[in-house]
Structure 1
Amino acid sequence: MSSIHLLFNTISRHQIPKYFAICFSSNLATLNPQKYANNHYSSQDWAKTISSQITNCTNIHQLNQIYAHVIRIHMLHYYSDPFYWNTIIRAYTRFHSPFKALYVSIAMSRAGVYPDTYTLPVVLKAVSQITEISIVRQLHTVAMKHGLETNLFCESGFISLYAKSGEFDNALKVFDESPERNLGSWNAVISGLAQGGRAREAVDMFLELKKSGLEPDGVTMVSVTSACGSLGDLGLALQLHKCVFQAKSLGKSDVLMSNSLVDMYGKCGRMDLAYRVFEKMCERNISSWTSLIVGYATHGHVRDALECFRGMREAFVTPNGVTFVGVLSACVHGGLVHEGKRYFNMMKDEYKIEPWLQHYGCMVDLLSRSGLLEEAGEMVKEMPMEANVVIWGCLMGGCEKYGNVKMGEWVARHLQQMEPWNDGVYVVMSNIYASNGLWEDVGRMRKIMKERKLEKIPGYSL
């Protein structure tokens, strides 16, 4: 079975209609290739008109209409140049319709039109929106078949997709076998390692890049500063800050690099340096404010975080879900129940943001720490998604702090189902019983731990 058939079988699992929409507007109906069959220049103009309409589509419905018309009049039969196929694939990718883009690429192959150096990069961009590793491998086979695997754009695309899928060995293999590594390939592998939790390897790869003689750009620095933040290495952070000044950047990359510096210093615990970078920024976007708010919240600077959020709103920058995770975390650190409820309601009512699991986690933690266990329990019950171990753990911590036996037993049942091997549940329940003088229940907990061969793990310092 050929690689393109395998690709089709993979995509066929997703329900995509054979023809996306059969609905034609009046201006499209007048466009007919046969009308210009004897006039080469007119026919070329006609084809370019269709391509321009596809490129200038403003929504997916309009694109479906034009593509349906293209199918009906057999335009791609008369004009089989990869350029026209690429235009349609790129348009579907732009509207985040990866499976439709892949269907067009399959139709292109079945029509006997070979991909060119522009086809696979845009198809890989479509695949990046779904990151299904089987499709990545099949496209890699297609690239090798047509001698495009060494194309610089294809190469960086495969490195990124393999890394994003967690197949770092394949990503590094593509990188190592490259006959001519450009900056795009280096950026792809550094970014993949950084985003995949392999921060130390990302930094080491950055040092190799410097040794190779290539100069890092804004994309490189954003990735490596993110890796440095994960390591919490302040000495390295200060050195990278110098590299940021040296990096050649254009347009928005300056903002992205400054945001990455704010985030890096925040994760390294130096909020004074994070604020200094933020203060000197000529242009600030939502990521700039959010990075500073999250940094303050993480390190317990409650008032600074909330004051920064107030400044963000006064600057008419609309917060997002991540911003509110930082704000609610600050409220948890400060025990600000009233403020936490107000911000939670503001997020839902004013900004129309549906709460995430993290938002509920912050609220349950806040209410539990403040002794509002019944209210915290009701929030857990009313959540639209299943609570995870962290949320149940927050509620369990509140039960231990305030000695609530009834709710503690309810929470313990859920935690035992999720993590039957966890000794912490039994230890906490034993403490709750002991604080209420229920010594028989304390003995029962110890007996269960002994029967299940669970032992309390002693504390230790790193």
Structure 2
Amino acid sequence: MLIKVDTRMVTYAHLVFNQVKYPNPFLWTALIRGYAIQGPFKKSVMLYNCMRREGIGPVSFTFSALFKACGAVLDVSLGRQIHAQTILLGGFASDLFVGNTMIGMYVNCGFLDCGRKVFDEMPDRDLVSWTELIVAYTKSGDMNSAGELFVGLPVKDMVAWTAMVTGLAQNAKPKEAIDYFERMQNAGVETDEVTLVGVISACAQLGVSKYANWARNIAEKSGFGPTHNVVVGSALIDMYSKCGNVEEALKVFEIMKERNVFSYSSMIVGFAMHGRAHAAMQLFHDLVKTDIKPNRVTFVGVLTACTHAGMVEQGRQIFESMEEFYGVAPSANHYACMVDLLGRSGHLKEALELVQTMPMEPNGGVWGALLGSCRIHGNPDIAQVAASHLFELEPDGIGNYILLSNTYASAGMWDDVARVRKLARKKGLQKNPAFSWVESKEGVVHEFFAGDMTHPKCSEIKQALDDLLERLKANGYQPNLGSVLYDVSDDEKKRLLKTHCEKLALAFGLLSTDSTIRIVKNLRICEDCHLFICGASQITGRDVVVRDNMRFHHFHDGKCSCGNFW
């Protein structure tokens, strides 16, 4: 009977069950468990009710199966009724196995506080009890509660460590994720591919080559090298791309014995963010010749590649063929890519029309793409339309207020600039400070904030910046004063531009490295800094790679890979 239930033959098992004249609690539980695993899930509860009417008492495994069924259909009301039964019938609520599945039910239904209450009231707990809640807290973004539970966990196994590493990485805490991973290694806990993907993701967020090489070495030593592990290989492709080394990402892709849609998509997205649109398109064409079907991420990568290269017609063709030829219905993310492509190429009215005719309600990403394009092309009218929707969808999104304010500033509409900035202040919103970081040849990461001259080598940095500025001016460089969106004098604008964080990072990079300078910035690089670094790459003979919040810029001999289109 139990064997039948564990296969895809639960209906047949039910027929066999009906032939038993006096089924015992274990037979009832076996059938309840079968429906709890395979569905229809609520039939488990119906069987339980029949069982009780027959006067048959449940066993602990009966309740664990019922809680799994309630969690599967996300029916917390029914789950609470079962919870009440465990108390009324006596003793079951304190059973370890029942308690664990009860926690899982509440967590799956989104009632984490109820799951925590069950945990706190359990007389005995095992590793499953602890890790169930730790994983739930990490998924909800409550890393403080997850960390507190983790500290109290008597024996920390691979699942618990992995939950913390991946949770921190997924919640934009990459340094903490790497710290936990190192502690995990020091504790002698075995690593699996899930843990590795978590720490590789953390390294990708930092964008520093030191960590990228470190993660690759660990993967190889742990027996999860990219040659034979498609999951780790795909993660490494993504990591190297985000660390500014798309060439190494391509090497990983090429040595992989097995590739799937995630491998191809990661490589296509990597090419896209580095402005290598033609390589992305070629790889997409290679993909569709295989048995692998492109997915939504694949098309986001291809459309992003078209956006970064201004390939409007190719983007239109890909977008229009998604559903017809590949069976992938465009989502809001794909519409956002198309709006970005049209808008950045100057087709703002067409972009607005596309938004207004979407088959689904436009989300913040769609309106944000349109607003960003208005900032680039200085169209305050359409910017106001986009911003009005964004203020409703994302009332606390300071970036939307900044983009609208900057659009007005570019048009010299200073009264409107003041109005928008006042509105943001009234809502208590504060602008995220611009900062950049650069890696020295010793592998140490140095952070620089705009206007901040507190670095230990600030005098050398200032001197290097002054010398570079004079050489650039002699070569024809003139500061782009339009990059300062404040109503101040030209001299003040020049002073502000001089200490932008990416310029400080560049000067430090020139002093502390003798190879390619790799800079990461948390915001979009401004027009003046882009012009400045272009010139610097020519007169110093040094390659510079800048990763901003939009894409990568590869500066070489006075030119940028973006073609001044970003």
TM-score interval, smaller chain: 0.7 to 0.9
Q: Deviations over 1:224-266 (max 9, x none)?
A: 111111111211111221111222569xx93322222222112
2:56 alignment partner in structure 1: 78
Q: Which runs of 5+ in 2 are unaligned?
A: 1-10, 423-483, 487-495, 503-566
Quick one: distance in 2 between partners of 1:76 and 1:259? 55
The CA deviation at 1:157 is 1.6
Quick one: distance in 2 between partners of 1:186 and 1:355? 37
Quick one: distance in 2 between partners of 1:327 and 1:195? 24
How many pairs were matched up? 412
Give the secondary-structure state (helix, strand or coil) at the position aligned to 1:74: helix
Quick one: distance in 2 between partners of 1:248 and 1:79? 50
1:12 alignment partner in structure 2: none
Q: 2:240 aligns with which of 253, 265, 271?
A: 265
2:544 alignment partner in structure 1: none
Q: 1:47 aligns with which of 28, 33, 51?
A: 28
Q: Deviations over 1:169-200 (max 9, x none)?
A: 22111111122222222111112111111110
1:141 lines up with 2:123 in the alignment: no
Relative to structure 1, the CA distance from residue 31 to residue 297 in structure 2 (aligned partners, 3 Å threshold; closer, same or farther) is same
Quick one: distance in 2 between partners of 1:87 and 1:403? 61
User: Could you tell which deviates more after superposition, 218-227 or 314-323?
Assistant: 314-323
Quick one: distance in 1 between partners of 2:275 and 2:362? 28
Please state which structure has a larger fraction of its residues in helix.
1
Relative to structure 1, the CA distance from residue 240 to residue 27 in structure 2 (aligned partners, 3 Å threshold; closer, same or farther) is closer
Give the secondary-structure state (helix, strand or coil) at the position aligned to 1:78: coil
Quick one: distance in 2 between partners of 1:223 and 1:175? 17
Q: Which runs of 5+ in 1 are unaligned?
A: 1-24, 38-42, 433-441
**Conserved in 1, the CA contact under 8 Å of 2:233 and 2:252?**
yes
1:370 lines up with 2:345 in the alignment: yes
The CA deviation at 1:322 is 1.9
What pairs with 1:2-401 in structure 2 (closer than 5 Å)?
28=14, 31=17, 35-36=21-22, 43=24, 46-47=27-28, 50-51=31-32, 53-54=34-35, 57=38, 60-61=39-40, 63-74=41-52, 78-91=56-69, 93=71, 95=72, 97=74, 99=76, 102-103=79-80, 105-106=82-83, 107-112=85-90, 113-114=92-93, 116-142=95-121, 145-148=122-125, 151-247=126-222, 254-383=229-358, 384-388=360-364, 391-396=366-371, 398-399=373-374
Letter in 2 for 1:338: E
The CA deviation at 1:275 is 2.1
Relative to structure 1, the CA distance from residue 399 to residue 163 in structure 2 (aligned partners, 3 Å threshold; closer, same or farther) is closer
User: Could you tell which deviates more after superposition, 119-128 or 330-339?
Assistant: 119-128
Letter in 2 for 1:146: P
Q: Deviations over 1:310-343 (max 9, x none)?
A: 2222222222222221111111012121221222
1:447 alignment partner in structure 2: 415
* TM-score, with structure 1 as normaliser: 0.76
2:485 alignment partner in structure 1: 456
Give the secondary-structure state (helix, strand or coil) at the position aligned to 2:231: helix
RMSD: 3.6
* TM-score, with structure 2 as normaliser: 0.64
User: Could you tell which deviates more after superposition, 342-351 or 301-310?
Assistant: 342-351
**Conserved in 1, the CA contact under 8 Å of 2:408 and 2:416?**
no
**Conserved in 2, the CA contact under 8 Å of 1:415 and 1:425?**
no
The CA deviation at 1:400 is 6.0
Q: Deviations over 1:268-327 (max 9, x none)?
A: 122222222222223222222221121111111112212222222222222222222111
Letter in 2 for 1:137: R
Q: Deviations over 1:153-181 (max 9, x none)?
A: 22122111122222222211111112222
Give the secondary-structure state (helix, strand or coil) at the position aligned to 1:157: helix
**Conserved in 1, the CA contact under 8 Å of 2:177 and 2:202?**
yes
Quick one: distance in 1 between partners of 2:223 and 2:88? 44
1:428 alignment partner in structure 2: 407
The CA deviation at 1:48 is 6.4
Quick one: distance in 2 between partners of 1:115 and 1:127? 16
